[in-house]
């Protein structure tokens, strides 16, 4: 599987952070990462492109209209989560996706700077 950075997700996350839609949480991403039921509920009300904006990675070998195309979630469909960005950064580093790792790190720094104000 070869993933690429999802630039639409990066821009969307930046906008959310700038607009104050973030949580500077210290918890574990597993507590906030939307489960399958929440994902399906979101998709019942939104287009797949909107779902994709919540994921930093794209698997271009998967069909555009499938959840399997999107990887490295960072939010709960409402807010960007600090622990979600940390999890995405760490997983991307472990799997060798440096562009996704770097984007997650930059978003994390943006969120932390905004939260410090």
- Estimate to the nearest angstrom the gap between the alpha carbon of 6 and the chain centroid: 9
Query: What is the pLDDT, as a whole number, of residue 1?
Result: 67
* 30, pLDDT greater than 90: no
d(CA 116, CA 68): 35
pLDDT of residue 68: 94
- Percentage of residues in the chain having pLDDT higher than 70: 99
Q: How far apart are CA 13 and CA 23, in angstroms?
A: 12
The pTM assigned to this predicted structure is: 0.93
67-80 per-position pLDDT tens digit: 999 999 999 999 99
Q: Is 3 left (phi over 0), alpha (psi -120 to 50) or beta?
A: beta
């Amino acid at each position: 599987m070869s993933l690429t950075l999802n630039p639409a997700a990066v821009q969307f996350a930046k906008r959310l952070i700038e607009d104050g839609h973030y949580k500077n949480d210290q918890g574990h991403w597993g507590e906030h990462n939307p489960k399958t039921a929440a994902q399906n509920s979101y998709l019942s009300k939104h287009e797949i492109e909107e779902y994709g904006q919540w994921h930093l990675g794209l698997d271009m070998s998967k069909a555009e209209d499938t959840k399997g195309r999107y990887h490295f979630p960072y939010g709960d469909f409402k807010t960007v989560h600090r622990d979600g960005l940390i999890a995405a950064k760490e997983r991307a580093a472990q799997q060798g996706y440096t562009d996704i790792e770097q984007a997650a790190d930059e978003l994390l720094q943006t969120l932390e700077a905004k939260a410090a104000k």
